[in-house]
Amino acid sequence: MISIIVAVAENNVIGKDNNLIWHLPKDLKHFKETTTGHYVIQGRKTFESCGKPLPNRTNVIITRDKNYKAEGCIVVHSLQEALDFAKNESEIFIIGGGNIYKQALPIADRIYLTKVHHVFDGDTFFPEINMNEWIEKSRHDFEPDEKNKYPFSILILDKMK
């Protein structure tokens, strides 16, 4: 199963200046719990914004740079190469950024979508989801609290067969 995991603002913004814009500990915990033990496929800029491989996951980085090296990671040069590398896994996670999401959306089976109920200024966007192609399997709504400044919802969307 090819899964996308993403946090998106109301205006589809996912980042600015190669950084996350909001800090939602509950969503970060969800991300960690969902992806731990799996392959996580990401673009080079997404990897560099994290600064290091995500622990307890097999980190796969996609870059056009044939000489790129990242300690503790698998480096490939296309989304297809990344998927081929992880083909024996039960679930593979696409974790960003914008260009990788755009390539992966047509072939994804599931989206773990955190919808942050706020509009943000940003320079990186998630592609528009055609909701006629997806079924909402679950939804959990969260109100702001002392650690999570914005209201948000965590949805699981499965592609219609």
Which residues, 6+ apart, have CB-to-CB distance to 67 below 8 Å?
none
Report the candidate in 36, 18, 47, 20 with the shortest Cα–Cα distance to residue 149. 20
Check whether domain 2-159 has CATH 3.40.430.10, yes or no: yes
Per-residue pLDDT tens digits for 89-142: 999 999 999 999 999 999 999 999 999 999 999 999 999 999 999 999 999 999
pLDDT(50) > 90: no
Instruction: Please tell me the distance from the alpha carbon of residue 123 to that of residue 143, in angstroms, as a whole number.
Output: 26
Name 33's Cβ contacts closer than 8 Å, sequence gap at least 6: none
Beta carbons of 112 and 96 less than 8 angstroms apart = no
Output the pLDDT for position 161: 81
C-alpha 149, offset from chain centre: 21
Taking only the tens place, the pLDDT of each residue in 77-89 is: 999 999 999 999 9
The answer to whether the CB of 85 falls within 8 A of the CB of 65 is no
- Cα separation, 124 vs 127, in Å, equals 10
Rounded to 10 degrees, what is the CA torsion of 89, 91, 94, 100?
60
**Residue 19 pLDDT:** 86
Q: What is the pLDDT of residues 3-34, one digit of tens each?
A: 999 999 999 999 999 888 999 999 999 999 99
Predicted model pTM? 0.95
Confidence class for position 159, pLDDT limits 50, 70, 90: very high
Containing H/E element for 4?
Answer: strand 2-9
H runs (alpha helix) in the chain = 25-35, 44-50, 79-85, 98-104
Residue 140's pLDDT is 98
The C-alpha angle 23, 27, 28, rounded to 5 degrees, equals 70
